[in-house]
Amino acid sequence: MSQSAVENKKVQSDKVAGPWKEAWRGFRKSKIAVVGMGIVIFFILLAVFGPLVTMQGINEQNLPERLLPPSSTYWLGTDDFGRDILSRIVHGARISLWVGFLAVVGSALMGSLLGILAGYYGRWVDAVISRIFDIMLAFPSILLAIAVVSVLGPSLRNALIAIAIINIPNFGRLIRSKVLSIKEDEYIMSAKAIGMKDNRILFSHILPNSMAPVIVQGTLAIATAIIEAAALGFLGLGAQAPAPEWGKMLADSRPYLTNAPWTMIFPGLAIMLTVLGFNLMGDGLRDALDPRMKS
């Protein structure tokens, strides 16, 4: 059969660029996003390899050397027990990133599942799930987290669970709205028309197509989760002494604010930089993955 030249020409290029590759191209264009990603990668490397290279122990008390300012031995100074702040921050990166990541993965999984069910099946399933989300969102998130931790008891693990729980409705609503629009797309109808099963449509067509906003929200949510974990640590509801958790370090530094400010500045800076990194990266991802931003 003869083919029109137009149709032939359209496929001349043999290069295959998947949708993810295209998104990466868009992401690279934004310098700020790349800087954000740099910061995030830096802290990830710090968390993974840092503890192997720091010279000082994290929990060894060295009272004669307490509250020393930054020097060549203690790059970021020492705290009230004479512990090296740099080592503690490096170990703290592990805790904070781990908590942020796990909490977000947990809430994204739960939220996606609930959101997909609500969006796809609609009716009473939607009504029940959406009302639960509404109730959860009616509380200020940190208050809800405090409530959850008070029930479970203060510990880093419980703080993580609390943060995961309070973030579920954010993901749930996001996915639900995305599913609502995707399920009207024609490829869902044509998937049905070739005899595909419901759960297969859900997980192999609808889920992958609603992932873009989840990735964006996930990156931004890691930032929030890190802040929330630090806040719970600060309030004494998260990581317990002597764990080198950034929020906990901030809380412990309060009495020495005036005479040893480095005990507060460096953990605070670590929190700020990590959160900034994730936020910049998240914004870049959103621009790269949002179809409306495409030219």
| Residues that bind other proteins in the complex, under the rule CB under 8 A | 1, 3-4, 6-8, 10-11, 13-14, 16-19, 123, 185-187, 189-197, 204-205, 208-209
Taking the least distance from each CB to other proteins, the nearer of 99 and 201 is 201
Tokens 């300012």 found at: 69
86 Cβ neighbours under 8 A, 6+ residues apart: 54, 56, 74, 75, 76, 266
Residue 175 Cβ vs other proteins, minimum distance, rounded to whole Å: 16
* Minimum distance of other proteins from residue 42's CB (angstroms): 31
In angstroms, what is the minimal distance from the CB of 28 to other proteins? 20
- Residue 19 or 69: the one with the smaller Cβ distance to other proteins is 19
Q: How many CA atoms lie within 13 A of 231 on its CB side?
A: 16
The whole-angstrom separation of Cα 43 and Cα 62 is 27
CB of 156 or CB of 175, closer to other proteins: 175
- In the bound complex, what is the minimum distance in angstroms from residue 14's beta carbon to other proteins? 7
Nearer to other proteins, 62 or 209 (CB): 209
3 φ/ψ sector (left φ>0, alpha ψ -120 to 50, else beta): beta
- Shortest Cβ 293–other proteins spacing (Å): 16
β-partners of residue 84 are 78
Q: Which residue, 146 or 179, has its beta carbon nearer to other proteins?
A: 179
| Identity of the amino acid at 169 | P
Q: What would the 3-class secondary structure string for 92-114 be?
A: HHHHHHHHHHHHHHHHHHHHHHH
